[in-house]
Amino acid sequence: MKIVSINTTSPARVSLDGGPRKIRSGIFKIPISQSVFLGGLGFEGDGVGDTRIHGGKDKAVCAYCVEHFPYWSEKLQRKILPGAFGENLSLSGMPETVINIGDIFEIGSVQVQVSQPREPCHKLNKVFNDQSMACSVKKSGFSGYYLRVLKPGLVEPGAPIKRIHKEKFSIEKANALLRKGGANIQHMKELVSLAALSDEWREKLQKRLIKYQDV
């Protein structure tokens, strides 16, 4: 497990699809070559466009697996590079099937914890010029995930990553709850009970539990 690339950018008014309409966004991340400080709200020099739905302590760092790049290159017929999914960390050896909510990782002196899956949004449709992209990400399970920062410090591109605490509820298992037919009440209860789960996901799943239990 290691960092392949660290990707950052300052939010700015940009066109997601090359058209005339611009919105404030930080989705177009650029790989950096030097060490950078990672604090409680993310990497120095990085930011998000809409703080109502992005960023915060539970979503300080967005991570994505480079092992998924060949799949998307074949599907989209285009080259996929680090930062293409708006991720801060392009990682190797850390797919959604083996990463769990609450896992803690050490990167040098830094410690981070997995808080929730990343949910694909409509912006990916525009960035990739494919109106089915967000849906394709959801179906594939290649979502990426978010990390909170437990211990801040400098992070270096290419640095090895060591798992120092392992939980049991995988990102893939959590993603399955969002797919069609994913109303597994027992799994939802199990996930909601995890202390490391982000507040956003806990509230969402609690509402879904009430809905399904009232049926």
Domain boundaries, the chain: 2-168
The answer to whether the CB of 193 falls within 8 A of the CB of 101 is no
DSSP state of 80: -
Helix or strand or coil: residue 14? strand
pLDDT at position 214 is 63
CA distance 58 to 23: 24
Looking at residue 106, its pLDDT comes to 98
pLDDT tens-place values along the chain, 215 residues long: 999 999 999 888 877 777 878 877 778 899 999 999 999 999 999 987 767 777 799 999 999 999 999 999 999 999 999 999 999 999 999 999 999 999 999 999 999 999 999 998 888 898 888 889 999 999 999 999 999 999 999 999 999 999 999 999 999 999 999 886 677 899 999 999 999 999 999 999 999 888 877 65
State the CB neighbour count (10 A cutoff) for residue 193. Answer: 10
Say what the pTM is: 0.93
In CATH, what is the architecture of 2-168? Beta Barrel (2.40)
Give me the half-sphere count of Cα atoms (radius 13 Å) on the Cβ side of residue 136. 13
CA 82/CA 199 separation, integer angstroms: 28
Q: Which of 172, 145, 164, 169 shows the shortest CA–CA distance to 59? A: 145
Q: Give me the count of residues in the chain.
A: 215
Cα–Cα distance measured from residue 94 to residue 131, given in angstroms and rounded to the nearest whole number: 28
